[in-house]
């Protein structure tokens, strides 16, 4: 197989794995922003919390990697409800600026707490044997972990798509994103709906945080460092759109990986350039409502 | 003319005369609003007092003044025009690098003309980006401003042969100020230099804020649709103030480079944008002196607590932000005003920004 084809396949494979991580972590942010218009800069902190819970469970309690991921998602999802009910709720009608300040304050507190508990050095996580090693496809060996990430991503996307498009509650969420007041006036309890999606989104973010440890390592700065990427995925995809978030995650994931393969010195330049171009042409993102 | 109206008022019904009196009071208020009050001397006296009281901490003092200037530029767009940006560090960085590159690569070591160059370059950048970005609002604008700042940082990193990358341009040497005052180890010259620059810029910002143009900005912040409806050229107003604020941020960046004698790419950091916003919010937005109080309080607290424990400091600043949003939405100065109003002394700095207009006499 010619050299450029191998590189192209590698970029696609790694980019796809990266895109799955971006999608899993960002999708909750997109739906909650679409529902309430709430700018939640603490979303990265929920992802980081999930990551550290996975680290603690696997390293200190000896629980397996996969069950740890599930526990982290459930715990963070449940705790996020407290934040939503206690803090966020007060600011739904406030300005963007106030929401930005509150949530960035929470993110700072989360980073400080994580530094205090786990130290500033990046943590890793022990993988079970079935996720270690490579899968060989003849011309190139692919890391098993990334293949697992892709499969898991596809499964989650299917489940979310089904829940969003085919179930009653999914229809209610879509209705509330489209027109909140109308949805309320036909008797949909948007408040409750929002709490549910917020918990689900935070749980998924925690799952993403746990999955990210093997890819990037986990340090307290994760909460802000990758937050920018999640926000970009949400803004480029369009608020509250599953399809848009997926498309944006794929575009950003593949382009960022490609840029790092082919022109590493440019760093993140390409994704920011893409973001600016997309938003200048379509201010509401790919599938957002203008 | 006012006399005519009062005599006319005497002949009309009490309700009309009340309306006329209210109009007179409003006119009186608008005319007197921009006059200097005695309280406004306080921050400046404090700055001068610092020079004599803490002669060995003036290097730190000039850093505070630089941040005051930076926060002041943000106040113009955030506090007055209501533009929420996460990328204001872009212009600070451009100013810093204009002076840094000028000194390191082109031998332009004259400091005052360097400030002007930084102002011009940062203004041009502000005009171009503002013209493109300011038609957007909300999350889109946040992301676009953020992405612009990071792109500049990445571009600088790409040309690390010029910018020095994250190692920066160390050991810059500038000419003595006005060809006469050399820089001393304790930063006396730098402090006075920064204070004079701040005072000059402040004078202009104050003029802008109290001009009809400044009023239009406040109008855009409060109700952009109504401003469109009365025919105000909203986009051009925003671009204009964005350009000015970018230029001032550029001056702050240039001062930063000159007083530190080095510059690195971290000036473009998101943290730098967030930090200046936090300072301004803590002090109080849309009231000029909020920038002074916020930057000074933040820098002093940071200096003290981050030596004690950086982790503790970060937690504290997060908690402060949360508390500020929940309980003191108008910053420390806003709290003072509330306290002042509570105790019946309603003569504080800037009443026209009072949100509860119903309480005004």
**Which residues are paired to A142 by β-bridges?**
A135
The band of B317, judged by pLDDT with boundaries at 50, 70 and 90, is confident
Identify the DSSP state of A143: E
In chain B, what residues touch A224 (CB-CB under 8 Å)? Answer: 270
Identity of the residue in A102, A231, A280 whose CB atom sits nearest the CB atom of B325: A102
Q: Pick from B139, B141, B148: which is nearest to B92 by CA?
A: B148
Whether the per-residue pLDDT at B72 is higher than 80: the answer is yes
CATH for A113: 1.10.3470
Residue B361 has pLDDT above 50, yes or no: no
Beta bridge partners of B177: B181
Average pLDDT for B158-174: 75
Report whether B292 contacts B134 (CB < 8 A): no
Six token digits for residue B96: 């810093």
**Which token pair is B328?**
């003191």
Q: Of B344, B193, A263, which Cα lies nearest the Cα of A271?
A: A263
Q: Would you say residue A37 lies in a domain?
A: yes
The answer to the question of residue A289 being in a domain is no
Q: Cα–Cα distance between B106 and B254 in angstroms, integer?
A: 16
Q: Which residues contact B35 (CB under 8 A, 6 or more apart)?
A: none
The nearest CA of chain B is from the CA of A192 a distance in Å of 23
DSSP-assigned beta bridge partners for residue A143: A134
How far apart CA B35 and CA B206 sit, in angstroms, is: 10
Read off the pLDDT of residues B121-143 as tens digits, 9 standing for 90 and up: 999 999 999 998 888 887 788 88
pLDDT given for residue B355 in this prediction: 43
The C-alpha of B100 sits at a distance from chain A's nearest C-alpha, in angstroms, of: 22
Q: Give the span between the Cα atoms of A224 and B145, in whole angstroms.
A: 16
Distance in angstroms (rounded) separating the CA atoms of residues A65 and A71:
10
Q: Does B308 touch chain A (CB under 8 A)?
A: no
pLDDT at B360 over 50: no
Q: CB-CB: which of B136, B138, B158 is closest to A266?
A: B158
Q: Tokens 């079935």 sit at which residue?
A: A130
Q: Which of A111, A115, A268 sits opposite B150 (nearest CB)?
A: A268
Q: Is the minimum CB–CB distance between B26 and chain A shorter than 8 Å?
A: no
Chain A contact for B222 (CB, 8 A cutoff): no
Q: Is residue A30 part of a domain?
A: yes
Q: Which of A107, A112, A118 to mutate to test the interface with B (most CBs of B within 10 A)?
A: A112
Is residue A207 within 8 A of residue A68, CB to CB? The reply is no
Q: What's the pLDDT at B180?
A: 66
Distance from CA of A145 to the nearest CA of B (A): 30
Give chain B positions within 8 Å (CB) of A98.
325, 329
List CB contacts (< 8 A) between B329 and chain A. Answer: 98
The fraction of chain B above a pLDDT of 70, given in percent, is 87
Q: Which residues in A lie closer than 8 A to residue B86 (C-beta atoms)?
A: 100
Q: Which pLDDT value is given to residue B57?
A: 83
Find the Cα–Cα–Cα–Cα dihedral A219, A220, A221, A227, rounded to 10°: 100
Q: Counting runs of H as helices and runs of E as strands, what totals does chain B give?
A: 16, 0
Q: Decide if A117 touches B, using CB distance below 8 A.
A: no
Q: What is the pLDDT of residue A20?
A: 93
Minimum mean pLDDT range among A108-112, B8-12, B189-193, B248-252:
B8-12
The answer to whether residue A287 sits within a structural domain is: no
The list of chain A residues with pLDDT below 50 reads none
Q: How far is A148 from chain B (nearest CA, A)?
A: 31
Transcribe B236-296 into DSSP letters. HHHHHHHHHHHHHHHHHHHHHHHHHT-B-GGGG-HHHHHHHHHHHHHH-SSSSHHHHHHHH
In a domain, A158, yes or no: yes
pLDDT for the residue B186: 66
Pick from B213-217, B241-245, B353-357 the range whose average pLDDT is largest: B241-245
Positive or negative, the Cα torsion across A261, A266, A270, A275?
Answer: positive
The pLDDT tens digits for B265-301 are 888 888 888 889 888 888 888 888 888 888 998 898 8
8 Å CB contact between A72 and A233: no
pLDDT greater than 60 at residue B7: no
pLDDT at B183: 67
State yes or no: pLDDT of B13 exceeds 70.
Answer: no
**Domains of chain B in sequence order:** 57-309 (1.10.3470)
pLDDT (tens digit, 9 = 90+) per residue, A192-239?
A: 888 998 999 999 999 999 999 988 888 888 888 888 889 899 989 988
Q: What is the mean pLDDT of residues B175-186?
A: 68
Residue A229 lies in a domain: yes
Q: Does A228 touch chain B (CB under 8 A)?
A: yes
Residue written as token pair 């794929």 = A250
Establish if A286 belongs to a structural domain. no
Give the position of tokens 């649709």. Answer: B225
Q: How confident is the model at residue B179 (pLDDT cuts 50, 70, 90)?
A: low
Interface test with B, best of A40, A95, A109 (most B CBs within 10 A): A109
Flag whether A140 is in a domain. yes
Q: Which domain holds residue A105?
A: 3-281
DSSP state of B39: G
Residue-wise pLDDT for B84-111, tens only, equals 888 899 999 999 999 988 888 887 878 8
User: Model confidence over B318-359: pLDDT tens digits?
Assistant: 898 888 888 877 677 777 777 777 665 444 444 444 444 333
Average pLDDT of every residue of chain B: 82
Distance from C-alpha of B82 to C-alpha of B356, rounded to nearest angstrom? 18
Mean pLDDT for the stretch of residues B243-260: 93
Closest CA to A259 of B151, B344, B263, B130: B151
pLDDT at B11: 54
- The count of CB pairs under 8 A between chains A and B is 119
Residue in this structure with the two tokens 């990427």, named with its chain if needed: A229
Smallest CA–CA distance from B137 into chain A, residue: A283
CA nearest A238 in B: which residue?
A: B140
| ipTM value > 0.95 | no
For chain A, what is the domain count?
Answer: 1
Whose tokens are 């949530």? That residue is A103
């Amino acid at each position: 197989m010619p050299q450029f084809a191998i590189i192209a396949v590698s970029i696609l494979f790694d980019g796809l794995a990266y895109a799955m991580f971006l999608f899993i972590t960002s999708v909750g942010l997109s739906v909650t922003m679409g529902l309430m218009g709430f700018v939640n800069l603490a979303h990265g902190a929920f992802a980081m919390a999930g990551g550290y819970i996975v680290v603690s469970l696997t390293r200190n309690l000896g629980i397996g990697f996969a069950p740890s991921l599930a526990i982290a998602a459930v715990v963070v999802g449940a705790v996020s409800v407290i934040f939503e009910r206690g803090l966020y709720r007060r600011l739904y009608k406030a300005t963007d600026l106030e929401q930005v300040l509150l949530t960035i304050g929470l993110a700072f507190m989360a980073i400080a707490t994580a530094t205090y508990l786990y130290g500033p050095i990046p943590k890793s996580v022990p993988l079970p044997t079935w996720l270690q090693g490579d899968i060989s496809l003849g011309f190139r060996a692919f890391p098993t972990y990334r293949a697992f990430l892709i499969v898991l991503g596809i499964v989650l996307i299917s489940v979310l798509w089904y829940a969003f498009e085919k179930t009653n509650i999914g229809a209610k969420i879509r209705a509330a994103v489209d027109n909140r007041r109308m949805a309320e006036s036909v008797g949909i309890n948007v408040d409750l709906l929002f709490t549910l999606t917020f918990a689900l989104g935070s749980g998924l973010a925690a799952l993403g945080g746990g999955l990210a440890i093997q890819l990037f390592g986990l340090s307290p700065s994760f909460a802000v460092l990758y937050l920018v990427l999640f926000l970009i995925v949400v803004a480029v995809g369009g608020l509250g759109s599953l399809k848009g978030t997926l498309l944006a995650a794929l575009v950003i994931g593949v382009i960022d990986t490609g840029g790092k393969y082919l022109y590493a010195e440019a760093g993140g330049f390409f994704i920011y350039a893409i973001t600016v171009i997309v938003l200048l042409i379509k201010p509401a993102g790919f599938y957002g409502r203008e | 003319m006012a006399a005519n109206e009062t005599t006319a008022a005497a002949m009309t019904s009490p309700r009309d005369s009340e309306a006329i009196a209210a109009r007179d009071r409003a006119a009186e208020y608008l005319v007197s609003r921009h006059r200097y009050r005695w309280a406004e001397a306080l921050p400046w006296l404090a700055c001068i007092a610092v020079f004599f009281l803490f002669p060995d901490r003036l290097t730190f003092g000039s850093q505070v003044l630089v941040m005051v200037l930076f926060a002041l530029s943000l106040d113009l767009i955030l506090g007055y025009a209501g533009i929420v940006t996460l990328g204001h560090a872009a212009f600070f960085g451009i100013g810093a690098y204009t002076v840094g590159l000028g000194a390191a690569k082109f031998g332009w070591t004259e400091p005052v003309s360097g400030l002007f160059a930084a102002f011009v370059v940062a203004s041009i950048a502000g005009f171009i980006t503002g013209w493109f970005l300011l038609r957007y609002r909300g999350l889109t604008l946040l992301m676009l401003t953020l992405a612009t700042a990071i792109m500049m940082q990445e571009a600088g990193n790409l040309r690390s042969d010029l910018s020095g990358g994250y190692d920066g341009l160390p050991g810059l040497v500038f000419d003595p100020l006005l060809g006469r005052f050399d820089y001393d180890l304790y930063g006396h010259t730098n402090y006075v230099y920064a204070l004079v620059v701040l005072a000059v810029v402040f004078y202009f910002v104050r003029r802008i804020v109290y001009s009809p143009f400044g009023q239009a900005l406040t109008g855009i912040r409060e109700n952009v649709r109504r401003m469109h409806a009365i025919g105000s050229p909203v986009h051009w107003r925003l671009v204009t103030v964005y350009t000015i604020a970018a230029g001032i941020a550029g001056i702050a960046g240039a001062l930063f480079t000159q007083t530190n004698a080095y510059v690195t790419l971290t000036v473009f950091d998101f943290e730098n944008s967030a930090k200046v916003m936090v300072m301004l919010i803590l002090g109080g937005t849309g009231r000029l002196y909020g920038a002074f109080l916020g930057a000074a309080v933040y820098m002093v607290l940071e200096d003290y607590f981050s030596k004690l424990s950086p982790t503790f400091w970060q937690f504290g600043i997060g908690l402060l932000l949360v508390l500020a949003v929940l309980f003191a939405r108008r910053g420390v100065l806003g709290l003072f005003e509330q306290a002042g109003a509570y105790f019946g002394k309603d003569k504080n700095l800037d009443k026209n920004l009072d949100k509860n207009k119903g309480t005004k006499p």
